[in-house]
Amino acid sequence: MAHTPDPDARWLALLLHAAFFLLLGASLTRFLMRHPGEARTPWIIGLSAALALVYALGPVLGSRPTPRRFAWLAGLVAVWMVLVVLAPSFAWCAVPLFSTGLRLLPPRAALVLVTLLTAFVVAAQLRLATGFDPNLVLAPPAVAAVATAVLVHVRRQADRQQELAVRQRQLIDDLVLTRRELAATERREGTLAERQRLAMEIHDTLAQGLSSQRMLLQAADRTWETEPGTARAHVRTAAGIAARNLAEARRFVHDLAPADLAAGEGLEAALGALAARTTATGGPAVRCHVEGSARSPLPDRVQSALLRIAQGALANVTEHAGAATAGLTLTHLDDRVVLDVADDGRGFATDGPAAGGAPDGTVSGRGHGLPAIRARVRQLGGRLTIESSPGEGTVLSAEIPLPGTRSALTREPVTPQESG
Largest Cα–Cα distance in the chain?
143
d(CA 173, CA 153): 30
What domains can be seen in the chain, in order of their start residue?
7-132 (no CATH), 267-275+282-420 (3.30.565.10)
What's the rounded Cα separation, in Å, for the pair 9 and 11?
5
| 283 three-state secondary structure | coil
Helices (H), 129-257: 134-202, 208-223, 228-253
Q: State the DSSP code for 298.
A: P
User: Which contiguous run of DSSP H or E holds residue 341?
Assistant: strand 336-343
Quick one: pLDDT at residue 252? Answer: 64
Angle between helices 107-128 and 67-86 (to 10 degrees): 10
> Would you list the DSSP string of 18-48?
HHHHHHHHHHHHHHHHHSTT-TTHHHHHHHH
Under DSSP, the state recorded for 164 is H
Residue 311 buriedness (CB in 10 A; 0-12 / 13-18 / 19+) = buried
Distance from C-alpha of 368 to C-alpha of 361, rounded to nearest angstrom: 11
Q: What are the backbone angles phi and psi of residue 129, rounded to the nearest 5°?
A: -75, 145
Q: Residue 332, exposed/middle/buried by CB under 10 A (0-12, 13-18, 19+)?
A: middle
Q: Distance (Å, rounded) from C-alpha 386 to C-alpha 275? A: 20
User: What value, to the nearest 5°, has the Cα angle with vertex 144 and ends 140 and 150?
Assistant: 150
Task: Give the distance from CA 312 to its chain's centroid.
Answer: 37
198/235 Cα distance (integer angstroms): 28
Ranges of the chain with pLDDT below 70: 1-9, 63, 128-133, 135-136, 139, 154, 194, 197-198, 200-201, 203-205, 250-260, 262-264, 351-368, 405-420
Q: Nearest to residue 154, comparing CAs of 113, 195, 210, 98?
A: 98
Please tell me the distance from the alpha carbon of residue 313 to that of residue 417, in angstroms, as a whole number. Answer: 10
| Cα angle, residue 100 at apex, residues 50 and 92 outer, rounded to 5° | 65
Three-class DSSP category at 142: helix
Q: 385 in helix, strand or coil?
A: strand
Cα–Cα distance measured from residue 311 to residue 201, given in angstroms and rounded to the nearest whole number: 10
- Cα–Cα distance measured from residue 76 to residue 84, given in angstroms and rounded to the nearest whole number: 12
Outline where 35-106 has alpha helix (H): 41-57, 67-86, 94-104
Nearest 5°: the CA angle 314, 208, 322 is 45
As a whole number of angstroms, the distance between CA 276 and CA 240 comes to 14
Residue 401, pLDDT score: 92
Integer Cα distance of 144 and 119 in angstroms:
10
Q: What is the pLDDT of residue 322?
A: 85
